[in-house]
């Protein structure tokens, strides 16, 4: 395989040509396929191209709507960008289920974001600690010009602490700063503040002989934001849950409670359980132009905050009440980043009623809770495969190049049968040979 210097300097067409010539067997169909995914409006395409580097085309993903979410007394449609077929159906199912049982209730438990300057200090540590309040005032003063606008919007820097980490590495200290970034996710603002703190710190310490030396190792936002937290809850009387085939409401409530308990104590199960939660959360995070890697990384750390990785949702069945809730750390924004640039992100936010960051946090927490409830409901009653494979049927049919007529037939045929690649292939073979015979 070939390598190339200066790929980023080529035009988009040249980039495609080089790729096709060297990695796609000079296949002109591959070239026109790549080009066929360009947006027809060249201005929009340019905006999309400029989100990234070395862009050659767009990668398509389904964009779906999960309707009928009753949240704090109002109905919402949740926009979702996800490729897993059963996820949106599961969301809609949970939305419908809870809409007749009081809906979802949400609250914000905190909005604090964190950034750190990690540095090595060689000198009188007691002096550094003793003077930290004076140093902190200088750090805050030195970064005022950066935080001014954020302060006008009601946010800014909340505090800076000096953390002694010398037990882990000789001379290792941190500045741990907390921020309120209002409706923006805030990573850029936080990183700019942190780099300013780093240079002010070096200056203060470097110029004063009573201190030692500071070597800044790195200054960066922390994606772990346990105090930027949304809670979503559903609850109803156990009997209102209704029965599921031969499973009574009481039995269902108990099974769900134990299923959540299992995820609380067993990391193997917890990982899959939380993965299901992020099926809902990530789909909304992507649809609203937020950073799903940051949100997921944070959630998994939060799930392990007590020393063992466990469930992000919780369930109690007490005094005849079934209660199911999630506490989810979510550092998201509704201004800045892609939010005003990506056409479908703008549309997603409009669909959600142009929420502020706190409202978006609540919608995402609801999506996670709904997704987890739907998965647990399926698994504790009929099993996951019935719904999953029914939803996957269209993918399998497309894999075998099924016609529209074959798809229609298959949807009826599989109503009371188990879907798999083999059963679908056999069904198609039978259908196709029966058709040949008729001809
Ligand atoms: C599949 O994408 C998600 C589930 O595995 C989640 C779970 O097991 O809770 C169904």
Told to judge if 388 belongs to the known catalytic residues of this protein, a careful annotator would answer yes
Does ligand 1 come within 6 angstroms of the Cβ of 259?
Answer: no
Pairing, β 313-318 against β 228-237: unpaired
In the annotation, is 435 catalytic? Answer: no
CATH number of 113-221: 3.30.70.420
In contact, 312 and 327? CB cutoff 8 Å = yes
Q: Which residue is closest in CA terms to ligand 1's atom 3?
A: 276
Judge if the beta carbon of residue 272 lies within 6 A of ligand 1.
yes
Kindly provide the residue ranges of all beta strands, DSSP E only, lying in 96-239, ordered along the sequence. 105-111, 113-122, 156-164, 172-180, 213-222, 228-237
**Is 158 tagged catalytic?**
no
Interval 277-313: pLDDT, tens: 999 999 999 999 999 999 999 999 999 999 999 999 9
> What's residue 428's pLDDT?
94
Question: In the annotation, is 15 catalytic?
Answer: no
Taking CA atoms, 321 is separated from 106, 237, 241, 243, 252, in Å, by: 18, 4, 10, 15, 13
Read out DSSP for 9-73? Answer: GS-HHHHHHHHHHHHSTT-HHHHHHHHHTS-SSHHHHHHHHTTSSS--S-----EEEEEEEEETT
Q: Is the CB of 375 under 6 A from ligand 1?
A: yes
In the chain, domain spans: 7-49, 63-110+228-382, 113-221, 388-438
User: How far apart (Å, rounded) are the C-alpha atoms in residues 40 and 152?
Assistant: 40
Indicate which residue's Cα is closest to atom 9 of ligand 1.
Answer: 273
| Topology (CATH) of 63-110+228-382 | 3.90.770
Using a 6 Å cutoff on CB, does residue 114 contact ligand 1?
no
The dihedral of CA 7, 9, 12, 17: what is its sign?
negative
Buried b (16+ CB within 10 A) or exposed e, 387-426: bbbbbbbeebbeeeebeeebeebbeebbeeeebeeebbee
Among candidate residues 291, 296, 358, 406, the one labeled active-site is 291
Indicate which residue of 118, 377, 388, 392 is catalytic. 388
Which residue has the least CA distance to atom 7 on ligand 1?
273
Identify each DSSP E strand in 103-197 by its residue range.
105-111, 113-122, 156-164, 172-180
User: Which stretches does DSSP call E strand in 82-208?
Assistant: 105-111, 113-122, 156-164, 172-180
DSSP 183: T
For the chain, list residues with pLDDT below 50.
Answer: none
Q: Is 384 in the pocket of ligand 1 (CB under 6 A)?
A: yes
- Which of 84, 235, 240, 327 is an active site residue? 84
Cα dihedral sign for 358, 364, 368, 374? positive
Q: Is residue 162 within 6 Å of ligand 1 at its C-beta?
A: no
Measuring CA to CA, how many Å separate 345 from each of 78, 337, 340, 341? 12, 10, 7, 8
Out of 91, 270, 279, mutate this one to test ligand 1's pocket (max ligand atoms within 8 Å of CB): namely 279
pTM of the predicted structure, to 2 decimals: 0.91
């Amino acid at each position: 395989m070939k390598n190339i210097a200066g790929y980023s300097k080529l035009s988009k067409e040249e980039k495609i040509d080089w790729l096709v010539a060297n990695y796609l067997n000079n296949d002109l169909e591959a070239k026109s396929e790549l080009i066929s995914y360009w947006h027809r409006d060249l201005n929009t395409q340019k905006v999309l191209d400029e989100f990234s580097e070395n862009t050659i085309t767009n990668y398509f993903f389904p964009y779906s709507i999960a309707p009928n979410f009753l949240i704090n007394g109002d109905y919402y449609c949740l926009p979702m960008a996800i490729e897993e077929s059963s996820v949106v159906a599961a969301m809609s199912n949970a939305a419908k289920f809870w809409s007749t049982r009081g809906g979802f209730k949400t609250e914000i438990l905190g909005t604090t974001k964190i950034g750190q300057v990690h540095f090595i200090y060689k000198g009188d540590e007691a002096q550094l600690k003793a003077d930290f309040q004076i140093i902190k005032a200088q750090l805050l003063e030195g970064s005022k010009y950066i935080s001014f606008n954020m302060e006008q919007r009601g946010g800014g820097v909340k505090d800076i602490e000096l953390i002694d980490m010398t037990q882990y590495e000789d001379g290792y200290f941190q500045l741990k700063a907390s921020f309120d970034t209002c409706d923006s996710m805030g990573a850029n603002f936080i990183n700019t503040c942190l780099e300013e703190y780093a240079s002010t710190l070096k200056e203060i310490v470097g110029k004063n002989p009573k201190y030692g030396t500071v070597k800044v190792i790195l200054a960066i936002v922390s994606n772990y934001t346990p105090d930027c937290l949304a809670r979503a809850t559903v609850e109803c009387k156990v009997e209102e849950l209704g029965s599921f085939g031969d499973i009574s409401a009481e039995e269902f409530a108990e099974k769900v409670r134990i299923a959540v308990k299992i995820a609380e104590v067993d990391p193997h199960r917890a990982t899959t359980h939380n993965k299901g939660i992020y099926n809902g959360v990530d789909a909304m995070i992507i649809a609203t132009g937020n950073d799903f890697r940051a949100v997921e990384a944070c959630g998994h750390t939060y799930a392990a905050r007590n020393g063992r990785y466990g469930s992000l949702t919780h369930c109690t069945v007490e005094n005849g009440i079934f209660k199911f809730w999630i506490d989810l750390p979510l550092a998201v924004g509704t201004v800045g980043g892609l939010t005003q640039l990506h056409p479908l992100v703008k549309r997603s936010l409009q669909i959600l009623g142009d929420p502020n960051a706190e409202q978006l946090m609540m919608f995402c927490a609801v999506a996670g809770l709904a997704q987890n409830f739907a998965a647990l409901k399926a698994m504790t009653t009929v099993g996951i495969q019935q719904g999953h494979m029914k939803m996957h049927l269209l993918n399998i049919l497309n894999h075998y190049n099924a016609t529209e007529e074959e798809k229609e037939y298959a949807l009826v045929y599989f109503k009371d049968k188990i879907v798999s690649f083999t059963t679908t292939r056999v069904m198609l073979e039978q259908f196709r040979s029966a058709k040949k015979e008729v001809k």
